[in-house]
Amino acid sequence: MENKIIDESVQGTATMLNTTKNNVSGTKKLYVESYGCQMNFSDSEVVASIMNKNGYSTTRDIDEADVVLINTCSIRENAETRVRNRLTEFKSKKAKRPDLVIGILGCMAERLKKSLLEEEKLVDLVAGPDAYRDLPNLVEEVGTGQKAVNVLLSRDETYADISPIRLDQGGISAFVTIMRGCDNMCSFCVVPFTRGRERSRDPETIVNECKDLFEQGYREVTLLGQNVDSYRWNLSSKGEIKDSNQPTVNFAQLMEKVAQVSSDLRIRFSTSHPKDMTDEVLEMMAKYENICSYIHLPVQSGSTTVLDRMNRSYTREWYLERISAIRRIVPDCAISTDIITGFCNETENEHADTLSLMNEVAFDFAYMFKYSERPKTLAERRFEDDVPEDVKSRRLNEIIENQLHHSLKSNQKQIGQIQKILVEGYSKRSDEFLSGRNTQNAVVVFPKETAQKGAYVYVKIEDCTSATLMGNIVHK
Ligand code: 5AD
Ligand code: SF4
């Protein structure tokens, strides 16, 4: 899968759900912790909503929880290691409070199924990504002394009708899931096994959710899917209409509908696949000022032979042509990517191809990973994970160093510009400064003056590091 991730294993972001106004007060308390991609964070909000309807209110204090759920990621081995460590901590809490229900959700639940419950005895409950409606029953089953498992994958579950309870992000920016699952078979990736087949969510429910968010004060939505370019409503994968009485909607058309909710609502999306990203999507980005000029387009490798082993369905040249299309149609667009280094049989020349592609594209940002072999994947079955660990580390360092240089240059180019910034809150370092993002998704920090969270301000960029832009508000 590809998702612009808040990297689970590297940054270890775990977010707890906050009590919000649409959270009916229940007598029982639920604590949820999330790891992994944005999709997982979004799913936890669906889970909170389902549990809320069944009498659970969310808490940020694990010690007052009746049910503890951990939403997990399997994408790399170290993501799973972190979760196992956390589960061991939970187990010691359970030793003191035997009534506490501990459940595992998400990709690890799907991948490991009963083993965490039966062999390792780390949890009481296991629910895969398509089984969240069943959670209240599963919790009840645990209460009657049974081991509760539901890891059935569905062909049509999209949780379309569920109104998520929002994570505590300050109420400015929200994730909206538009599709689930993935039909690509990238040879390194576990996601087709953990999240099942691709399916799109009813566009009307998506637009309504975005309208509600705007009315609640949100000013940015990120449309989420493993491969947003293959969003299709009432269309087969070959583009044929399924039901002639129903409208058809592709991703570009969906973006347009969301963009029309309000010109003050920013639209982002993640993740795009280079083989599917169409000019129609780019043209829609160019047409609407509120569709942000930012694309996350994972390349994975700059070598056509590695891309072939990865089963990515495109070549280096194809990828570079898609980059040219972005530059032509959305000239101010920032581009970020994902890169895997040390994939099976990767030679020094193939690695050099990745570095040269990075130089050719000059990505504004990149998420970079060492290859981590995952059970059951095509790569595990077909190839040997034969690049030694020290070589993987050295190549990763070379890639990171190269990217730092490009990120710094990308930020330096913006000095002197006046940019429209959506204020997200105080900066991490000081309450005298605000932090927000420009349309290209770069973080901008500036003295607060009288500006408020959720407002748009114009900031003149004065300085930068490779990670952040700094400036001052200008009054136009
Ligand atoms: N090893 C390392 N990185 C991986 N990714 C996916 N699977 C693996 C793996 N087995 C990376 C890809 C993907 C991102 C979400 O995680 O770069 O785009
Ligand atoms: Fe998200 Fe699951 Fe993929 Fe991790 S493995 S990035 S949680 S879809």
Whether residue 298 has its Cβ less than 6 Å from ligand 2: no
CATH number, domain of 185, equals 3.80.30.20
Residue of 35, 76, 271, 300 best suited for mutating to test ligand 1, as the one with most atoms within 8 Å of CB: 76
Clarify whether residues 426 and 400 are in a common domain: no
Residue where a domain stops, chosen among 90, 116, 150: 150
Same domain, 254 and 295: yes
Residue 293 Cβ < 6 Å to ligand 1? no
Structural domain includes residue 237: yes
Q: Whose CA is nearest to atom 5 of ligand 2?
A: 75
State which of 368, 384, 410 marks the end of a domain: 410
Q: Is 405 in the same domain as 424?
A: no
Atom of ligand 1 nearest to the CA of 372: 1
In this structure, are 208 and 306 located in the same domain? yes
The answer on 132 and 195 residing in a single domain is: no
Closest Cα to atom 17 of ligand 1 = 338
Q: Is 334 in the pocket of ligand 1 (CB under 6 A)?
A: no
Please check whether residue 216 lies inside any domain of the structure: yes
In a domain, 318, yes or no: yes
What is the model's pLDDT at position 462?
Answer: 98
Decide if 368 is inside a domain: yes
Q: How many domains does the chain have?
A: 3
Q: Is the CB of 8 within 6 Å of ligand 1?
A: no
40 ligand 1 Cβ < 6 A: no
Evaluate: CB of 343 within 6 angstroms of ligand 1: no
Task: Answer whether residue 167 is part of any domain.
Answer: no
Specify the pLDDT at position 170: 62
- Looking at the fold, whether 135 and 214 belong to one and the same domain comes out as no
4 lines ligand 2 (CB under 6 A): no
CA of 12 to the centre of ligand 2 (A): 13
Q: Is residue 230 domain-shared with residue 92, that is, in the same domain?
A: no
Q: Are residues 466 and 374 in the same domain?
A: no
Q: Does residue 58 lie in a domain region?
A: yes
Range of the domain at 462: 418-474
The confidence score (pLDDT) of residue 168 equals 63
* Closest C-alpha to ligand 2, atom 1: 37
In a shared domain, residues 254 and 371: yes
Which of 117, 150, 183 delimits the end of a domain?
150
> If DSSP states are collapsed to H, E and C, what string results for the chain?
CCCCECCHHHHCCCEECCCCCCCCCCCEEEEEEECCEHHHHHHHHHHHHHHHHCCEEECCCHHHCCEEEEEECCCCHHHHHHHHHHHHHHHHHHHHCCCCEEEEEHHHHHHHCCHHHHCCCCCCEEECCCCHHHHHHHHHHHHCCCCEEECCCCCCCCCCCCCCCCCCCCCCEEEEECEECCCCCCCCCCHHHHHCCCEECCHHHHHHHHHHHHHCCCCEEEEECCCHHHCEECECCCCCECCCCCCCEEHHHHHHHHHCCCCCCEEEEECCCCCCCCHHHHHHHHHCCCECCEEECCCECCCHHHHHHCCCCCCHHHHHHHHHHHHHHCCCCEEEEEEEECCCCCCHHHHHHHHHHHHHHCCCEEEEEECCCCCCCHHHHHCCCCCCHHHHHHHHHHHHHHHHHHHHHHHHCCCCCEEEEEEEEECCCCCCEEEEECCCCCEEEEECCCCCCCCEEEEEEEEECCCEEEEEEECC
* Residue 134 located in a structural domain: yes
Q: Are residues 201 and 299 in the same domain?
A: yes
Q: Are 145 and 181 found together in one domain? A: no
In a domain, 3, yes or no: no
In this structure, what CATH number is given to the domain that contains residue 89?
3.40.50.12160
Give the CATH number for residue 455. Answer: 2.40.50.140
Mutation test residue for ligand 1: of 195, 312, 340, 358, the one with most atoms within 8 Å of CB? 340
Residue-wise pLDDT tens digits, 174-196 = 999 999 999 999 999 999 999 99
**pTM of this prediction?**
0.93
Question: Given this model, what pLDDT does residue 408 score?
Answer: 96
User: Tens of pLDDT along the chain (476 residues)?
Assistant: 433 333 333 333 444 444 444 455 668 999 999 999 999 999 999 999 999 999 999 999 999 999 999 999 999 999 999 999 999 999 999 999 999 999 999 999 999 988 888 877 889 999 999 999 999 999 999 989 888 999 999 999 999 999 999 866 568 999 999 999 999 999 999 999 999 999 999 999 999 999 999 999 999 999 999 999 999 998 887 778 888 888 899 999 999 999 999 999 999 999 999 999 999 999 999 999 999 999 999 999 999 999 999 999 999 999 999 999 999 999 999 999 999 999 999 999 999 999 999 999 999 999 999 999 999 999 999 999 999 999 999 999 999 999 999 999 999 999 999 999 999 999 999 999 999 999 999 999 999 999 999 999 999 999 999 999 999 999 87
Probe target for ligand 2 pocket from 7, 70, 71, 74, with the most ligand atoms within 8 Å of CB:
74
Q: Are residues 182 and 312 in the same domain?
A: yes
Residue 26 confidence (pLDDT): 62
Q: Would the CB of 438 count as within 6 Å of ligand 2?
A: no
